[in-house]
Amino acid sequence: MKAAAAQLDVSQNQMRFVHWVVIAGVVSCDGAPQPEASTAAAQSGAPTACLDTALTTQGMRECLSARLDSTDRRIAQLLDSARRTVASPAAVDAAQAAWLGYRSAQCQAEGAEYAGGTMESLAILGCHQSLGTDRVHVLQAQLGALMR
């Protein structure tokens, strides 16, 4: 009975973590990046629909992966615009390569807390999404400054 209670606590803690990731604006599973929507969800505490309906870790992973794919596509679009705008496209590529190395190392470190557990991949995906959203904002700001 005690083992079942301990397992229930872990499961509840895992779900709290997943919802924290969502509420913190790290993920949203509804298509293109929408920082305003993520901020509103973070402030209201409302979880996103796809994570609410995901009944398994695999379902949560698919939800988070879809969101990350969307963010990565947006980053690629912004990088293409940046390459066409700057004098040295190679500098854009070098900066992106460095950022990808940072993102990978940072997210592996965050996932290490859950090493071997079902939460490891969710923590890594959430981290990738969070840093990706930050990268979108940075690239948008840089492009905006170049266009002035």
**Model pLDDT, residue 128:** 96
**Model pLDDT, residue 134:** 97
**Model pLDDT, residue 26:** 41
CB 17 within 8 A of CB 119: yes
Q: Where do the structural domains in the chain lie, given as residue ranges?
A: 2-147
> Which residues, 6 or more positions from 83, have their beta carbon under 8 angstroms from its beta carbon?
89, 92, 93
pTM of the model: 0.68
**Model pLDDT, residue 148:** 82
The whole-angstrom separation of Cα 34 and Cα 41 is 11
pLDDT averaged over 10-residue windows placed end to end, the chain, 148 residues = 46 43 39 38 43 84 92 97 95 97 98 95 95 97 90
3-state secondary structure at position 39: helix
3-state secondary structure at position 125: helix
**Model pLDDT, residue 139:** 97
**Model pLDDT, residue 5:** 46
